Amino acid sequence: MSRIDGRKFDELREIEAKVGILKNANGSAYFRLGDSIAIAGVFGPRTVHPKHMEKAECAILRTEYRMSPFSTVTRTRPGPGRREREISLVTREALSSVLFLEEFPKTAIDVHIEVLQASASTRCVGINAASLALADAGIPMRDLIASCSAGIVNREIVLDIAGKEDTEGEVDLPIAYYPRQKKVTLLQMDGIATKTEIKEIIKLAIKGALKIYEVQKEALRKKYEEVR
């Protein structure tokens, strides 16, 4: 069975990653997976406003995921809806464990993700960009976090759910992965699958995440190396 865009079952869309693209943010990155595009900007560590939210023993991580009104096929109303707020929450939980938050008590690290174009797996693109932006900002990290989706489309287990595969497919399962410790830090699923299928889908998603991880590392190095 061929996929809508002709990809093989274990093929990722075209990837593009650029680091340090914004002047004002302490760290920033652009990440594209096929037609899904996101930019992330990181501010901090900085003082916390409102002050009562600060923690005496570590930095707080705040993450905001937003979709631009022009990012979707039909215009999206600006402002965070319930879906965006949930994604902001799971994104924060995907990134937390690799950051050395304890090194910056009483501060906040703010991550802002803006989806510029949506073609499924947008939370994955957002997390990939955020991960790079955090490193670019000089925030001490244990590893990068790579994010990717997999699922079932036309009864076949496939990697990187794109465009119509999201609405017309059977299962969508995005993950975020912490490669060195082999931990899955974001895991969601909707759609119906058997236990065996879920295990296969997750394994495939991890493979995809590892490929994305290599691209992320390359993009980070590229910004800081001068071609001699």
Binding window for another protein (CB under 8 A); candidates: 10-18, 110-118, 147-155, 220-228: 220-228
- Residue 30's CB: how many other CB atoms inside 10 A? 21
Say whether residue 88 binds another protein (CB under 8 A). Answer: yes
Say whether residue 45 binds another protein (CB under 8 A). Answer: yes
Count the alpha carbons within 13 Å of 145 in the hemisphere toward its beta carbon: 29
Say whether residue 116 binds another protein (CB under 8 A). Answer: no
Beta carbon nearer to another protein, 8 or 222: 222
Beta carbon nearer to another protein, 39 or 178: 178
Smallest gap, in angstroms, from Cβ of residue 220 to another protein?
A: 5
Report the Cα–Cα distance between both ends of the chain, in Å, rounded.
47
CA distance linking residue 65 with residue 188, whole number of Å: 16
Smallest gap, in angstroms, from Cβ of residue 21 to another protein?
A: 14
Smallest gap, in angstroms, from Cβ of residue 125 to another protein?
A: 19
Beta-ladder partners of 93: none
Instruction: For residue 153, give the 3-state DSSP assignment.
Output: strand
DSSP assignments along 33-95, one per residue:
ETTEEEEEEEEEEEE-SSGGG--SSS-EEEEEEEE-TTSSSSPPPSS--HHHHHHHHHHHHHH
Q: Which of residues 21, 22, 116, 189 is near another protein by CB under 8 A?
A: 189
Say whether residue 23 binds another protein (CB under 8 A). Answer: no
For residue 45, say if its preceding peptide bond is cis, omega within 30 degrees of 0: yes
Residues that bind another protein (CB under 8 A): 26-27, 44-47, 51-52, 55-57, 82-83, 85-86, 88-90, 93, 96-98, 100, 103-107, 135-144, 167, 173, 178-195, 198-199, 202-203, 206, 217, 220-221, 224-226, 228
